[in-house]
Amino acid sequence: MNSIFTEHLLSCIIAVPFLGIAILAFVRSEYWIRRIALACTLLVFGLFLILWFGFDTDQQGMQFVERMQWMPTFNIQYAVGVDGISILMVLLTTLLSPLCILCSWNSVKTNVRAFMALILLVEGAMIVVFTALDLFLFFMMWEVTMIPMYFLIILWGGPGRIAAGLKFVLYSLTGSLLLLVGILALHVEGGHTFDIIALQEQTYSSTAQWWMFLAFFLAFAIKMPMLPFHTWLPDAHAEAPTAGSVILAGVLLKMGGYGFLRFCLPMFPEASVTFAPFILWLSVAAILYGGLMALAQDDIKKLVAYSSISHMGFVTLGIFVFNRQGIQGAILQMFNHGIVTGAMFLAVGQLYDRTHSRMIQDYGGLHKQMPRFVALFFLFSVASFGLPGTCSFIGEFLVLLGAAEVSFVMVLLAMGGIVLAASYMLWMLQRVALGQPATRTASLLSDLTVREMVTLVPLALIVLWIGVYPAPMMEMINASVANLVPATK
């Protein structure tokens, strides 16, 4: 019994959100819709914890693998499994989803059922993206994540939601198209199979690698987003509802980094090495550029969004230095960024719920009315710029350590990004949390409710836990990264 359960654990995790959508279809009362959606996401998280504790950290390959023929004619299977890289991403997904539902508990008033269903849909799709061992399945779910996001933005978003949603879809579709081209090329080159493991084991000719790398790279670079493809992100983040921003920043961006690790590095090592210098400098540019952009913002959500671009620069920097520290740092940085930026958006959303303003100048002096909020907001802000003792520091430090093997100048420049991060975050804190209230509304705000505390405190604990004792987290990814690094040596 137990073994059957463990064998199909991953499928159970994937199935729950989709089942949840089916159940929601038959529920009328909004009271129950919210509770069922929350229960589903919590159940997913509970099941995931079983998987987490059953995960063998010494094993290099995939675990909890399930394979089933799906469309035998085209050699397409339903195949899922987790390794150290994907388990962290799945943790992020399953952890943030209940919080998304909690944060939209009262703020979403129209069409609750559709909203919750979309959140569940995107959660299920994201889990599949991170666990898929079949390219076709991967691509399908990659596309599926985009649709609910689009609707979340244009239906429940802010004033500029239509334009933002359109931009998001345009960019995403371009990326998807390139991804599709890449996947088809890979399918042909790799002997007409969609099996990711089998595809990874083959070697491809230099020219093929070059072209396929380019297609995959551009697709993932748009998702990340890397420097010249980033303008969809600030708008989408700013206009999306809180839950949408959290999912977008917390998990969806990670699909890009995950793609680099799952496809580009193991499948096209030669092309990766060829392109690496270019990508590294682009990453450094993104770190600095994102930081400068964030410094220029008056909209808190946009500020956080631009900070994401800067942080994602660290991820690509770490991935393309091709060493243990760099890649481990990058993976950790992805996870940390999900936690910290997710929490930042949750916190900003809580402010937005109170005043319906995202502008920095509308706040000020919050420390008086909202001491609990300010304490947590402060923690996440300092974590965002990588204060030692919080989780982000570990990731950034490892990335920098890895980058030092390539170029010291790069490291120094990237550190400039950390100083910029400290500047915009502390400046924002100073204007939002400290000083005197700027408006009368800002002086009448109430502190966090229990529900809001519940959404933020777990993330705060994770931030501190990883910051103080990162070894267990590192242990999770150690073996998989060890497996990944030789590919590019």
Partner 1 sequence: MSSVYILIPLLPLLATVVIALAGRWLGEASGKVGVFAAGISFALSVAAFVELVLWKEPVFIPLYEFLRSGNLTIDLGLYIDQLTVLLLLLVTGGSFVVHVYSSRYMIGDARYSRFFAVLALFTFAMVTLVMSSNLLMIFICWELMGICSYLLISHQADREAACKAATKAFLVNALADVGLLFGIILTFAMFGTLDIRQILEQAPSLSGQTINLLGWAGLEFHVEKITTITLFLFMGCLGKSAQVPFHVWLPNAMEAPTPVSALIHAATMVNAGPFLLVRFSPLFMLSPVVMTVIAIVGGTTALFAAVVSLTQTDIKKILAYSTISQIGFMIMTCGVGAFAVAIFHMLAHGCLKGFLFLSSGSQLESAAGHEHEESAAGRSRPSWLLYFGALILACVPPFLIFSGPYESLWTVHDSSAARIAFWVIGLLTVFFTAMYLFRGITLLFGRSPSDVVQPRFFSPAHLLGVSAGALGLIAVLLLLWRWFVPFLAPALGNPHPPAVDVWQPMHLSPLLALPLLAAFAGWALACLAYSRPKLFDVARTNWGKAMYVHFLNKFYIDEIYGAYIVRPSIQFARWLWRAIDVRGIDRLVLGTALNSVLLARWLWRVVDVRGIDRAVVGSGHQSVALARWLWRMIDVRVIDRAVESAGSRSVGLARWLWEVVDVRRIDKTVERIGHAADATGHKLQEVEPRTLQHHLLILNLWLVVAIVFFYWVVT
Interface residues toward partner 1, by CB under 8 A: 167, 170-171, 228, 230-231, 234, 289, 292-293, 295-297, 323-325, 328-329, 365, 367-368, 371, 382, 387-389, 393-394, 397-398, 400-401, 404-405, 407-409, 411-412, 415-416, 418-419, 422-423, 426-427, 429-430, 433-436, 469-471, 474-475, 478
Please say which residue, 136 or 397, places its beta carbon nearer to partner 1.
397
Please say which residue, 191 or 371, places its beta carbon nearer to partner 1.
371
Which residue is associated with the tokens 């400098």?
Answer: 281
**Cα separation, 19 vs 275, whole angstroms:** 43
Q: How far is the CB of 91 from partner 1 (least distance, A)?
A: 18
Residue type, 205: S
Q: How far is the CB of 427 from partner 1 (least distance, A)?
A: 6
Q: How far is the CB of 67 from partner 1 (least distance, A)?
A: 32
The partner residues of 78 in beta bridges, in order of sequence, read 68
Please say which residue, 202 or 231, places its beta carbon nearer to partner 1.
231
Q: How far is the CB of 452 from partner 1 (least distance, A)?
A: 18
Q: How far is the CB of 109 from partner 1 (least distance, A)?
A: 32
Please say which residue, 13 or 473, places its beta carbon nearer to partner 1.
473
Q: How far is the CB of 440 from partner 1 (least distance, A)?
A: 16
Query: 369 and 439 in contact (C-beta within 8 Å)?
Result: no
Query: 302 and 287 in contact (C-beta within 8 Å)?
Result: no
Please say which residue, 57 or 441, places its beta carbon nearer to partner 1.
57
Q: How far is the CB of 257 from partner 1 (least distance, A)?
A: 17
Quick one: three-class SS letters along the chain?
CHHHHHHCHHHHHHHHHHHHHHHHHCCCCHHHHHHHHHHHHHHHHHHHHHHHHHCCCCCCCCEEEEEEEEEHHHCEEEEEEECHHHHHHHHHHHHHHHHHHHHCCCCCCCCHHHHHHHHHHHHHHHHHHHHECEHHHHHHHHHHHHHHHHHHHHHHCCCCHHHHHHHHHHHHHHHHHHHHHHHHHHHHHCCCCCEHHHHHHCCCCHHHHHHHHHHHHHHHHHHCCCHHHCCHHHHHHHHCCHHHHHHHHHHHHHHHHHHHHHHHHHHCHHHHHHHHHHHHHHHHHHHHHHHHHHHCCCEHHHHHHHHHHHHHHHHHHHHCCCCHHHHHHHHHHHHHHHHHHHHHHHHHHHHHHHHCCCEHHHCCCHHHHCHHHHHHHHHHHHHHCCCECEHHHHHHHHHHHHHCCCCHHHHHHHHHHHHHHHHHHHHHHHHHCCCCCCCCHHHHCCCCCHHHHHHHHHHHHHHHHHHHCCHHHHHHHHHHHHHHHHHHC
Q: How far is the CB of 415 from partner 1 (least distance, A)?
A: 4
> What are 160's two structure tokens?
């500029």
CA dist 265 to 121, 163, 208, Å? Answer: 29, 35, 14
Query: 55 and 476 in contact (C-beta within 8 Å)?
Result: yes
Alpha-carbon 108 to chain mean position: 23
Q: How far is the CB of 181 from partner 1 (least distance, A)?
A: 19
> What are 371's two structure tokens?
């001491």
Q: How far is the CB of 378 from partner 1 (least distance, A)?
A: 8
Q: How far is the CB of 197 from partner 1 (least distance, A)?
A: 25
